[in-house]
């Protein structure tokens, strides 16, 4: 694949909608299931992933010409691990309470498939600025997925949004249970599929 | 084919504990202290690397011992006896101590040949077979990494379509998991901790995982091509699995001993195998079911996993010993 011909705006939109990491590519499902009981968690982990994705994409794009192809995967892993250590220490120092709640997930960003996959398919073939925009799109897409699942679960489970009481009652307490993460993600994926089916039917009818 | 796998697995299970017995046993963090252990129900024995001053060593005021669970209750020391070789010290207590509980021994600055060697805080713990079993069952069922901790889901959903694939992935994962967890434990205890390089945990552990995957790949390719053909494809997927990184981080945070780490890694591996097997059996059935088109594929798999997770919540009340 040659360097991308998409504009910056298209790259960002591609990450958020067409190739949304959670709903379309179905990568990095662990935090989407385990850490989405509230919108706040989704926002925090989403911004951590955004940071790591942008930084490692730019780093790899900058040094792509001096990486030997046979050791590229270990190089990617170590680059990501370095940036994860940076964000891990920053979060531990500045937001200790929220960091404790997220627990091991911040360190596990290293193993999130989405970041390695973007480095492998995009950053190693494109310029630094294109990689920046692609990383931004992917990071925001991930954050969007996390926040939307967190929104549904927090609203239905606890009747609150970002800790503020909006409903005044708890419609479905089941949704804050850890196991409900699986149901919620499954149902939202089906919803995305349904929207796609309806959209395609609509398009056919127009032609 | 199967007998070959069994033979290799058997050899591994025999070799690993034998190796581990050499590296376990002591839990000592002070350079001057070689070993600390429960002697009997009334005493704790400490072995020093050199000779401490007899005056210092036999003064009970220099030692304070308490159960790790309540640090405020200090145990009454009746007397301290210096052994005939002048290097071992026996701390005797007035009443019986509960050896099942981990204890902490605090020493005031150690005096040896006129030098001050600094104070020490030592953990005494009995290698309790029931505790090891509890860790194994805990990692496998009570807090199953897939269904109650939600880790390793990408690989879990990717390889649970067919039962053969699921079992192959599970076995490969268990082997790599145990090997890399033991290496990570060794690196953490003997390199990262002594040199205070804790912040490098993530970098070192992930490097360790990629290295052990590469090593298993190379060795298997040369030694046993048939086995490599069966399991080689899953090796790459192992790196993308969060569990393989979560286990080293857990055992570093909890200061597990080598035996405990082995049990945690084994439990995590077999728990993943169990989850994959259950899920693949269910998904083979789902192939034949009449599912609404929008739910086909991943969405229905997620809902099924949710049902499994609810079932696994039933284990949460289980207490072993």
CA B217 to chain CA mean position, Å:
24
Amino acid B4: pLDDT:
59
B15-24, B33-42, B130-139, B177-186: least confident range: B15-24
Cα–Cα separations (whole angstroms), residue A24 to A18, A29, A192:
7, 11, 8
Cβ(B47)–Cβ(B101) under 8 Å? no
pLDDT at B13 over 60: no
Q: Do B298 and A27 touch (CB under 8 A)?
A: no
Amino acid A167: pLDDT:
79
- CA dist., res. A29 & res. A24, Å (int): 11
- Average pLDDT of B151-163? 86
**Cβ under 8 Å to A: B residues 123-162:** 147-154, 157
Cβ-proximal residues to B235 (8 Å cutoff; 6+ apart), any chain: B172, B176, B213, B216, B217
pTM for the model: 0.76
Cβ-proximal residues to B229 (8 Å cutoff; 6+ apart), any chain: none
Helices (H), A64-127: 72-94, 96-102, 113-121
A33, A110, A189: residue with CB nearest B298: A189
Q: Do A33 and B150 touch (CB under 8 A)?
A: yes
Q: Express each pLDDT in B238-251 by its tens digit.
A: 877 889 889 999 88
Instruction: Compute the C-alpha angle B299/B244/B197, nearest 5°.
Output: 135
Cβ-proximal residues to A134 (8 Å cutoff; 6+ apart), any chain: A4, A11, A14, A15, A57, A118, A122, A123, A126
Cβ(B258)–Cβ(B182) under 8 Å? yes
CATH of segment(s) B33-124: 2.60.40.1220
Give the other-Cβ count within 10 Å of B207's Cβ: 17
Classify burial at A192, counting beta carbons within 10 Å of its beta carbon; exposed 0-12, middle 13-18, buried 19 or more: middle
Task: Count Cα neighbours of B170 within 13 Å in the Cβ-side half-sphere.
Answer: 24
- CA dist., res. B22 & res. B29, Å (int): 18
Chosen for mutation from A116, A120, A182 (greatest number of chain B CBs closer than 10 Å) is: A182
- CA dist., res. B77 & res. B64, Å (int): 8
Domain holding A180, by residue range, is 8-206
Q: Is A178 on the interface with B (CB under 8 A)?
A: yes
In our burial notation (b when 16+ CB lie closer than 10 A, e otherwise), range B270-295 reads bbbbbbbebbbebbeebeeeeeeebb
Residue keyed to tokens 């504009």: A7
Residue keyed to tokens 């902490």: B104
Chosen for mutation from B142, B153, B218 (greatest number of chain A CBs closer than 10 Å) is: B153
A179: chain B residues, CB-CB within 8 Å: 147, 306, 309-310, 313
Q: Express each pLDDT in B78-91 by its tens digit.
A: 888 888 888 888 88
Helices (H), chain B: 2-23, 54-57, 129-137, 153-158, 163-187, 201-223, 225-239, 243-253, 258-286, 298-313
Residue A189 lies in a domain: yes
Q: Is B320 on the interface with A (CB under 8 A)?
A: no
- Average pLDDT of B57-77? 80
A177: chain B residues, CB-CB within 8 Å: 313
As separate numbers, helices (DSSP H) first and strands (DSSP E) second, chain A gives 8, 2
Q: Is B206 on the interface with A (CB under 8 A)?
A: yes
Q: Do B306 and A29 touch (CB under 8 A)?
A: no
Cβ-proximal residues to B138 (8 Å cutoff; 6+ apart), any chain: B267, B320
- CA dist., res. B170 & res. B280, Å (int): 11
pLDDT at B52 over 50: yes
Residues in chain A: 207
pLDDT at B14 over 70: no
B249: chain A residues, CB-CB within 8 Å: 104, 107-108
Amino acid B24: pLDDT:
44
Sign of the CA dihedral with A143 first, then A148, A153, and A154 last: positive
- Average pLDDT of B110-133? 76
ipTM: 0.85
Sheet holding B63-67, edge to edge: B63-67, B103-107, B120-124
Q: Do B154 and A113 touch (CB under 8 A)?
A: yes
Q: Do B210 and A85 touch (CB under 8 A)?
A: no
- CA dist., res. A164 & res. A7, Å (int): 39
Q: Do B245 and A110 touch (CB under 8 A)?
A: yes
Between residues A186 and B27, which one has the greater pLDDT? A186
B208: chain A residues, CB-CB within 8 Å: none
pLDDT at B272 over 50: yes
- CA dist., res. A53 & res. A60, Å (int): 11
* Regions in chain A scoring below 50 on pLDDT: 1
B147, B153, B249: residue with CB nearest A29: B153
Amino acid B275: pLDDT:
94
- Percent of chain B whose pLDDT exceeds 90: 16
Predicted confidence band of residue B294 (pLDDT cuts 50, 70, 90):
confident
Predicted confidence band of residue B3 (pLDDT cuts 50, 70, 90):
low
- CA dist., res. B312 & res. B145, Å (int): 11
Q: Do B210 and A116 touch (CB under 8 A)?
A: no
Residue A1 lies in a domain: no
As separate numbers, helices (DSSP H) first and strands (DSSP E) second, chain B gives 10, 9
A189: chain B residues, CB-CB within 8 Å: 298-299, 302
The domain segmentation of chain B, as residue ranges, is: 2-23+128-317, 33-124
Give the other-Cβ count within 10 Å of B146's Cβ: 27
Amino acid A136: pLDDT:
92
Alpha carbon dihedral B228, B233, B238, B241, in 10-degree steps, equals -160
Q: Do B302 and A82 touch (CB under 8 A)?
A: no
Predicted confidence band of residue B231 (pLDDT cuts 50, 70, 90):
confident
Residue A2 lies in a domain: no
Cβ(B137)–Cβ(B315) under 8 Å? no
Amino acid A3: pLDDT:
63
**Cβ under 8 Å to B: A residues 106-165:** 107-108, 110-113, 116
Q: Please spell the DSSP secondary structure of A18-46, one letter per residue.
A: IT-TTTTS---HHHHHHS-SSHHHHHHHH
Q: Given its phi and psi angles, is residue B196 left (phi above 0), alpha (psi -120 to 50 degrees) or beta?
A: left
Amino acid A25: pLDDT:
78
Q: Express each pLDDT in B200-220 by its tens digit.
A: 888 999 888 888 888 888 888
Residue whose C-alpha is closest to residue B157's, from A148, A113, A16: A113
pLDDT at B27 over 60: no
- Average pLDDT of B127-131? 72
Cβ-proximal residues to B191 (8 Å cutoff; 6+ apart), any chain: B197
- Average pLDDT of B78-107? 80
Q: Is B207 on the interface with A (CB under 8 A)?
A: yes
Q: What's the total number of domains in chain A?
A: 1
- Average pLDDT of B292-312? 90
Q: Is A78 on the interface with B (CB under 8 A)?
A: yes
- Residue B228's φ and ψ, nearest 5 degrees, are -65, -40
Closest-CA distance of chain B to residue A4, Å: 26
Amino acid A1: pLDDT:
43
Amino acid B303: pLDDT:
92
């Amino acid at each position: 694949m040659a360097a991308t011909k998409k504009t910056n705006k298209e790259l960002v939109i591609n990450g958020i909608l067409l190739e949304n990491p959670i709903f379309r590519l179905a990568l990095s499902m662990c935090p989407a299931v385990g850490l989405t009981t509230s919108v706040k968690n989704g926002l925090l982990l989403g911004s951590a992933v955004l940071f790591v994705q942008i930084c490692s994409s730019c780093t790899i794009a900058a040094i792509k010409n001096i990486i030997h192809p046979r050791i590229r995967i270990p190089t990617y892993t170590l680059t990501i691990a370095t940036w994860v250590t940076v964000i891990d220490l920053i979060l531990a120092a500045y937001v200790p309470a929220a960091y404790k709640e997220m627990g091991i997930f911040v360190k596990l960003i290293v193993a999130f498939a989405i970041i390695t996959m973007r480095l492998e398919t995009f950053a190693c073939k494109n310029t630094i600025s294109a990689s920046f925009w692609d990383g931004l799109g992917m990071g925001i897409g991930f954050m969007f997925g996390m926040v939307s699942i967190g929104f549904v679960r927090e609203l239905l489970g606890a009747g609150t949004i970002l800790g503020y009481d909006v409903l005044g009652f708890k419609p479905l307490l089941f949704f804050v249970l850890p196991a409900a993460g699986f149901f919620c993600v499954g149902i939202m994926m089906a919803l995305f599929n349904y929207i796609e089916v309806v959209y395609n039917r609509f398009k056919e009818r127009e032609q | 084919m199967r007998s070959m796998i069994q033979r290799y697995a058997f050899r591994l299970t025999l070799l690993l504990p034998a190796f581990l017995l050499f590296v376990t046993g002591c839990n000592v963090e002070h350079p001057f202290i070689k070993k600390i252990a429960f002697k009997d129900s009334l005493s704790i024995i400490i072995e020093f690397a050199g000779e401490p001053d007899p005056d210092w060593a036999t003064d009970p005021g220099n030692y304070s011992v308490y159960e790790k669970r309540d640090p405020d209750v200090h145990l009454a020391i009746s007397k301290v006896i210096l052994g005939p070789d002048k290097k071992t010290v026996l701390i005797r207590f007035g009443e019986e101590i509960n050896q099942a509980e981990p204890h902490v021994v605090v020493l005031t600055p150690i005096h040896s040949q006129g030098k001050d060697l600094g104070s020490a805080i030592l953990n005494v713990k009995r290698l309790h077979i029931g505790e090891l079993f509890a860790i194994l069952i805990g990692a496998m069922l009570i807090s199953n990494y897939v269904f109650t901790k939600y880790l390793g889901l990408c690989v879990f959903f990717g390889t649970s379509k067919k039962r053969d694939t699921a079992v192959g992935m599970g076995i490969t994962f268990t082997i790599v998991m145990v090997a890399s967890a033991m290496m990570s434990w060794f690196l953490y205890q003997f390199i990262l901790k002594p040199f205070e390089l804790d912040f490098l945990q993530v970098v070192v552990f992930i490097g360790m995982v990629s290295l052990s995957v590469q090593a298993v790949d190379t060795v298997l390719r040369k030694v046993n091509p048939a086995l490599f053909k069966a399991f080689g494809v899953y090796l790459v997927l192992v790196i993308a699995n969060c569990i393989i990184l979560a286990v080293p981080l857990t055992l570093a945070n909890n200061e597990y001993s080598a035996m405990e780490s082995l049990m945690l890694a084994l439990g995590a591996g077999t728990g993943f195998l169990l989850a994959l097997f259950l899920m693949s059996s269910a998904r083979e059935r789902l192939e034949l079911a009449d599912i609404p088109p929008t739910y086909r594929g991943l969405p229905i798999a997620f809902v099924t996993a949710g049902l499994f997770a609810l079932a696994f919540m039933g284990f949460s009340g289980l207490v072993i010993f």
